[in-house]
A and B are shown apart, each in its own frame.
Chain A
Amino acid sequence: MTAGDAPTGLAPQAAGEGLAADVRLRRGGFTLDVDLAVPPGGTLALLGPNGSGKSTVLGVLAGLLVPDTGTVVWRGRTLTRAPDLLVPPAERRIGLLGQEPLLFPHLSVLDNVAFGPRSRRLPDAAARATRWLERLGVAHLAQRRPRGLSGGQAARVALARALAAEPEVLLLDEPLASLDAVAAPELRHLLAETLRDAGLTTVLVSHDVLDAALVADHVAVLREGRVVEHGPRAEVLGAPRTEFTAAFVGVNLVPVGFGGLRPAAGPPAAAVARLRFRPAAVTVSEQRPGGDNTWEATVRWLEPATGGVRVRLATPGQPDVLADVDAAALGHLRPGARVWAHVPAESVQALGRGEQAACESPT
């Protein structure tokens, strides 16, 4: 299946109850053309590199941007119909949380969080705000000014503020992007919990696949303004169909014939288009090991990975391959070193042209 006509992955009836956007927008040299749906109560992770249009999609959903053509529908109510109908953001009950917390600098933390309830004229705004601050563990900051907060604290307050406004849909635009290595996992966990408890319909935009893995139940991949993959999390992340998504997810996807690799089983050789294997299955050594499924490569660079080091191996004219290696086994691996890589046949999956893998390994 080509990138352009990725299905929404949902039956039309289900889409009618949740959030659906079918829009096109052209700005400068960039064209956005997406058709997305999120079931009510579900969380969709929208992945893609910078410039792929993720933030634009959120802007359209929130009502801050008007598409050239198309509609945005929530629970059967049309919120946007270009070019004549645009329900203003203030009336959509769609919250938006961005990369920067953007806490109002002239208000205290409590007044920031109470801003939503006050704007909606809900009673006991201060009490509601305090409850949300408690739930996110930052109640002790209530009287502080945003200026004095750490990145992690500000992100929690911003989340509390967005949730205190009691939206029906929550849009998150890379909310963890500005957090350090300690604050990010904490907030990711908190986010997952809170979203689950609140039962909100959510769209989470990220360029970090970990966000999708832990928080979302559906995933869509955006590239150059178009959706290239869309489906339940397990499918998209566990079995990426395009090189692009594979690289994203951190799985190796190579064309058939790469390094003379052979899978253990699969469709007839003639029908195989691509091979897939995990970085953890790759071993790297300085001497050529015996056996098949071995090829020569150059170390491009090393990245930290959980419990070890991720090595990026370059082969001229071929896509890079990732290999996860124990720190102890690093030996003389340095950028520029020539090494031998090996992956056992059982770890290699064969993919037919545009088809799902014949053997899907568990996520």
Chain B
Amino acid sequence: MRRAAAAALAAAALLTGCAGSPPATSGPASDAADDALGGTLTVHAAASLQAAFDELLATFSAEHPEVDVQPAVYDGSSTLVAQLADGAPADVLATADEATMADLVATGLAASEPQVLATNTLVVAVPPGNPDGVADLADLAGLRHAVCAPEVPCGAATAALLAAAGVELDPVTLERNVAAVAERVARGDVDAGLVYATDVVAREELLDAVVPALAGTVVNRYPVVVLDGAQRAAEAFVELVLSPRGRSVLAAHGFGPPS
């Protein structure tokens, strides 16, 4: 299985285009450093974690040059879990809600107990300057808006928030992941969309955020876990993510603290 994984990684690297990761070290070089972790590191994470994780992975890679850090895979959490169940190779998984993580744990691929690395709340994304004057969720009813499909964590959170606020909406499209919703608003296809606070931070020039009154009542917890068969590098990365350093990076990208 490891050989197949290596081949798949090589293919994935070719397809996604290696973005500055160091070449695979599988020889004398890897034995050189002291306390060396070695091996490769493949992280699969929810789309909303992209900006923060890219930064953390870069930091990790700089501090552990002997580890071959593969480009991370970002997608809707349920898609990630489905791919892992089908045999996609990865070392670390971070999802956008605990329910999806529970699905993964149920498949038996988790090597240990998941831990929450950050939290996220929903906001309404609008074009810069909030041209339609959106103040809260109810204002979306008269606008063309997009939300996440109920099958993904963002969608589940959206449904909970709307229920808490007693608002019923008729979105013009249900997207497969939250990044797609943010893109719709940024591109002008729709007037507004419900996304995570982090998605607006990630697209500062393109989007503004309007925080709904009850946003704090629906909190998405982001668990992270090391997967079965991963090497020590994976554990080290998760350590970094959960450390105060990691937390400050996450906060800078708009995430809330884990508790």
Q: Do chains A and B touch in the complex (CB under 8 A)?
A: no
| Interface, chain B (partner A; CB < 8 A) | none
Residue numbers of A with Cβ under 8 A of B are none
